[in-house]
């Protein structure tokens, strides 16, 4: 179990994020078009997994906007923005915000991604949602960088994440 904070109050997650040198775990997430995607759908691409509780918060929305902007200039790289938001809400947000370079994916159906990556919050007002985290992997799925943001209301370290590519 890892401890992070929500507005200064300690809360728990299932465990610790995978670390640099480990392999990404397979996943089954849902696109805005309600199709299922897995890790193999991104084979041969470097990945930035931008993981967060919900697009309905300012910090989460800011992270998607920031990574969307960065993704436009990243060669052979996909930015996956992952939450438990419904695909309809993700689609609406992307349309309203002009998000074209980042891919929003939902873990609403089972929450298995949050469990497998040990980032599901297990206490506090946001229990069962994903904590804020970033995982960067090379084209072979080897993790180059991971960050469990210690305070949910803070943005991730974009510079370190993108520098890992």
The token pair at 8 is 């200064």
Q: Which residues pair with residue 163 across a beta bridge? A: none
Query: Treating both helix axes as pointing N-terminal to C-terminal, what angle do 87-97 and 58-71 enclose, rounded to 10 degrees?
Result: 60
Buried b (16+ CB within 10 A) or exposed e, 110-139: eeebbebbbbbbeebebeebbbbbbbbbee
Dihedral sign for Cα 8, 14, 19, 25, please. negative
Which H or E run includes 29? strand 29-30
Asked if 60 is an active-site residue, the reply is: yes
Instruction: Identify the active-site residue in 47, 49, 60, 152.
Output: 60
Residues belonging to the active site? 60
């Amino acid at each position: 179990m890892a401890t992070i904070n929500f507005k200064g109050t300690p809360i728990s997650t299932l465990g610790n994020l995978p670390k640099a040198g480990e392999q990404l775990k397979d996943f089954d997430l849902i696109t805005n078009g309600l199709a299922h995607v897995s890790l193999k759908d991104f084979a041969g691409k470097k990945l930035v997994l931008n993981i967060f509780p919900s697009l309905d918060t300012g910090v989460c929305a800011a992270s998607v906007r920031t990574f969307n902007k960065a993704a436009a200039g990243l060669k052979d790289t996909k930015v996956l923005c992952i939450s438990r938001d419904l695909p309809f809400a993700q689609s609406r947000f992307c349309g309203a915000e002009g998000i074209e370079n980042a891919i929003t994916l939902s873990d609403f159906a089972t929450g298995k991604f949050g469990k497998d990556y040990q980032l599901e919050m297990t206490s506090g007002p946001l229990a069962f949602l994903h904590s804020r985290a970033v995982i960067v992997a090379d084209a072979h799925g080897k993790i180059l960088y991971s960050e469990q943001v210690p305070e949910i209301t803070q943005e991730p370290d974009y510079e370190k994440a993108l520098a890992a590519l």
